[in-house]
């Protein structure tokens, strides 16, 4: 098995573009705008 270098910035840009595409489709087809919530548990 050989090592593989991953370009993190390029990968993140691809993921963001995919998420934006899915959000736009969801908003257009169903009128839903997704959000993000964070729940902190503990100290």
Q: Could you tell me the CA-to-CA distances from 9 to 13, 19, 22 in Å, in that order?
A: 6, 15, 20
Q: According to the model, what pLDDT value does residue 1 have?
A: 81
What span, in angstroms and rounded, lies between the C-alpha atoms of 19 and 21? 5
Which tens digits make up the pLDDT trace of 14-40? 999 999 999 999 999 999 999 989 999
Q: What's the pTM?
A: 0.66
What span, in angstroms and rounded, lies between the C-alpha atoms of 24 and 6? 28
């Amino acid at each position: 098995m050989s090592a593989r270098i991953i370009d993190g910035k390029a990968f993140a840009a691809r993921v963001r573009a995919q998420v934006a595409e899915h959000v736009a489709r969801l908003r257009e087809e169903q009128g839903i705008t997704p959000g993000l919530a964070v729940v902190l548990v503990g100290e």
